[in-house]
């Protein structure tokens, strides 16, 4: 074991490089070598302490991996913002991982004897905590780990300064105000500053605050810092809330949402608008596509009779839309899809997008817009690392265009989005290209969702055509089963740290969240049997039948419902999706 005293002394040295503190060796982990003879300081699944084999000292961690548990041990520590830390550890076994939640990780495929893993990471400008972890992999033998070190300064208050306050709780919401309360700091406290982002919105002397003057149906996230004459503490964890006064969407509490192949048949056959069953509450017309990738000029061309012999006339199509709307249904233009890539690289393309989309909405009397950008429509430039303040033109211009459309059509304008998991939940681990030269599309929908959260009617992430994705339990989930839908949807309700940025994406309102599924095996990879879908709904809505997963965002009684690709494929397979799920949604509390 390394000398703790020497590490602490050396760790007092900080070198400033480009405004970022580079942390010098001071292991800030508790029980880093498990020399207490216990797992004290660690949170473990399948972990125990053994006396052999060890790297040094008398004890080491043993991770008992199974087919369903990769035996993760983790520890959360306070850190300083904008500071570079070094993480290392000695591991033994097959497929052993060491990393930082939401950030960098490293691994070894096989280590017959103790082998050192190491990495470095830099905390975000407002980051005050980090969770490090070590784990094996499913179905592998047990692994061992020892002498884990996180080198750098801890986020302890400066001498004489107050400690970090407790994470605030939301005590009340109205159409114009949000009430908060939090646990008191220790030490001498002059008062508390309530922050929204980097802006102080209120200063108080007690441990409660009411933030007033807010807009109706707007979402906010607050942190709290204590201060005295010596200085200010690090900020607390964040609390998110939405003011009341949201305009009624006109949708049922739990809705069935489907895509209608209006411009092509796709092997599943054409379905006339008038023949769409009444159970479908939102009908997305697929697709509006651009004249070129960067033109912004969106066209909606109905399926030609040569491809769709049963296609109705424009007059009948329009009449059927109006009949659906009279029955309380919402009919939207869906833009993008697998083949319709849209890159709004310029202000001119942005304006053309707004004008052309408006023309389609007006021509057919539609209720709003579904954004189904896939492929390379969205990406993040190298230095675009703050989802709250994006700078990449294709992202900034899309946000501006959507805001213009919302302003033009008003509160009744229905806005939905159908991103793939790669553009949303993958952002928990990686945001943009990162420092490792990764895919710059990772998490690139997050700034759009965040900027439009107060105008967003429903977000239905495509829980299909996806690789394994890490959930908030820091385990990978695979599409096709209830646990994938539970874990992916919980991320949208609870929110999550974004990559290594030190920022947290706040969760959405539960009534804004649905999840997407293929209607049948031919419709896409990741088909989920009806019984498993119902299990996922029971967990998400009622907090029941969650298997081994714990909801971080809690149950969502107002979860909006289910989306499918597509209505056409559902008809092709004798309406299995509609017949299985519409009654189940209607019966939910």
The CA-atom distances, in angstroms, between 419 and each of 319, 372, 516, 519, 563 are 30, 6, 10, 17, 12
DSSP conformational letter for 538? I
Those residues with Cβ within 8 angstroms of residue 355's Cβ, 6 or more apart along the chain or in another chain: none
Q: Contact at 8 Å (CB) between 272 and 243?
A: no
Measured in whole angstroms, the distance separating CA 543 from the mean position of its chain's CA atoms is: 20
Q: For residue 339, report the phi and psi dihedrals to the nearest 5 degrees.
A: -105, -15
DSSP conformational letter for 273? G
SS3 500: coil
DSSP conformational letter for 38? S
Quote the Cα angle for 140-143-145, to 5°: 155
Burial 350-378 (b: 16+ CB within 10 A, else e): bbbbbebbbebbeebebbbbbbbbbbebb
Tokens 């084999």 identify what position? Answer: 53
Cis omega (within 30 of 0) for bond into 315: no
Q: Which of 139, 82, 66, 127 is nearest to 101 (CA)?
A: 127
Cα-Cα-Cα-Cα dihedral sign, residues 572, 423, 489, 46? positive
Number of H helices, E strands in the chain: 9, 32
50 class by beta-carbon count within 10 Å (0-12 exposed, 13-18 middle, 19+ buried):
middle
Q: Where are the beta strands (DSSP E) in 58-123?
A: 60-63, 73-78, 83-93, 96-100, 105-108, 111-122
Residues 191 and 184: their CA atoms lie apart, in Å, by 10
Tokens 């008062």 identify what position? Answer: 191
| Tokens at 508, concatenated | 């959405």
DSSP letter string, 400-457: HHHHHHHHHH-TT-EEEE--BGGGTGGGGT--TTTTTT--TTTTTTHHHHHHTTTT-S
Those residues with Cβ within 8 angstroms of residue 38's Cβ, 6 or more apart along the chain or in another chain: 31, 49
Q: Which of 98, 119, 123, 122 is nearest to 108 (CA)?
A: 98
Those residues with Cβ within 8 angstroms of residue 294's Cβ, 6 or more apart along the chain or in another chain: 343, 344, 345, 346, 349
Residues 423 and 431: their CA atoms lie apart, in Å, by 9
Q: Which residues are catalytic?
A: 374
Residues 515 and 45: their CA atoms lie apart, in Å, by 29
């Amino acid at each position: 074991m390394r000398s703790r005293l020497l590490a602490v002394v050396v760790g007092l040295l900080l070198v400033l490089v480009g405004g970022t503190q580079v942390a010098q060796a001071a292991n800030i982990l508790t029980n880093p070598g498990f020399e207490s003879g216990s797992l004290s300081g660690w949170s473990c699944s399948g972990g125990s302490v053994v006396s052999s084999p060890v790297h040094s000292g008398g004890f080491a961690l043993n991770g008992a991996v199974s087919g369903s548990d990769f035996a993760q041990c983790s520890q959360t520590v306070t850190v300083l913002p904008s500071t570079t830390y070094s993480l290392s550890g000695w591991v033994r076994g097959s497929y052993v991982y060491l990393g930082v939640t939401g950030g960098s990780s490293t691994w070894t495929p096989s280590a017959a004897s103790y082998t050192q893993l190491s990495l470095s990471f830099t905390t975000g400008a407002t980051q005050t905590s980090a969770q490090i972890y070590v784990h094996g992999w499913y179905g592998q033998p047990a692994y061992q780990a020892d002498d884990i070190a996180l080198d750098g300064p801890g986020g302890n208050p400066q001498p004489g300064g107050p400690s970090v306050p407790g994470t605030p709780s939301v005590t009340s919401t109205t159409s114009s105000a949000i009430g908060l309360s939090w646990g008191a700091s220790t030490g001498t406290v002059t008062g508390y500053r309530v922050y929204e982002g980097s802006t102080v919105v209120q200063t108080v002397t007690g441990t409660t605050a009411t933030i007033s003057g807010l807009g109706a149906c707007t979402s906010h996230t607050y942190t709290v810092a204590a201060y005295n004459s010596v200085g200010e503490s690090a900020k607390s964890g964040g609390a998110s809330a939405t003011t009341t006064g949201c305009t009624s969407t006109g949708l049922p509490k739990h809705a069935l949402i489907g895509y209608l192949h209006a411009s092509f048949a796709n092997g599943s056959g054409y379905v006339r608008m008038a023949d769409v069953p009444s159970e479908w509450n939102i009908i997305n017309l697929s697709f509006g596509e651009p004249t070129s990738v960067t033109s912004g000029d969106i066209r909606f061309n109905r399926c030609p009779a040569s491809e769709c012999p049963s296609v109705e006339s424009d007059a009948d199509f329009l009449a059927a839309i109006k009949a659906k709307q009279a029955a309380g249904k919402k009919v939207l233009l869906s833009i993008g899809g697998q083949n319709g890539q849209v890159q709004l690289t310029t202000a001119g393309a942005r304006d053309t997008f707004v004008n052309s989309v408006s023309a389609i909405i007006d021509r057919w009397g539609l209720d709003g817009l579904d954004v189904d950008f896939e492929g390379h429509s969205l990406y993040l430039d190298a230095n675009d690392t703050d989802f709250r303040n994006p700078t990449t033109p294709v992202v900034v211009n899309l946000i501006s265009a959507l805001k213009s459309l919302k302003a033009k059509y008003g509160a009744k304008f229905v806005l939905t989005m159908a991103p793939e998991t790669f553009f949303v939940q993958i952002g928990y681990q990686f945001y943009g290209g990162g420092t490792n030269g990764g895919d710059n599309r990772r998490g690139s929908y997050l700034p759009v969702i965040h900027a439009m959260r107060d105008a967003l009617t429903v977000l239905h992430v495509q829980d299909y055509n996806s690789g394994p994705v890490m959930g908030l339990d820091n385990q990978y989930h695979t599409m096709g089963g209830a646990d994938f839908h539970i874990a992916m949807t919980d991320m949208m309700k609870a929110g999550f740290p974004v990559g290594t940025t030190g920022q947290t994406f706040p969760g959405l309102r539960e009534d804004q969240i649905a999840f997407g599924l293929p209607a049948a095996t031919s419709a896409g990879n990741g088909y989920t049997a009806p019984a498993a879908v119902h299990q996922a709904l029971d967990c998400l809505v009622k907090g029941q039948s969650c298997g081994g997963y714990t909801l971080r965002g809690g149950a969502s009684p107002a979860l909006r419902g289910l989306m499918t690709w597509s209505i056409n494929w559902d008809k092709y397979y004798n309406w299995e999706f509609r017949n299985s799920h519409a009654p189940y949604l209607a019966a939910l509390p």
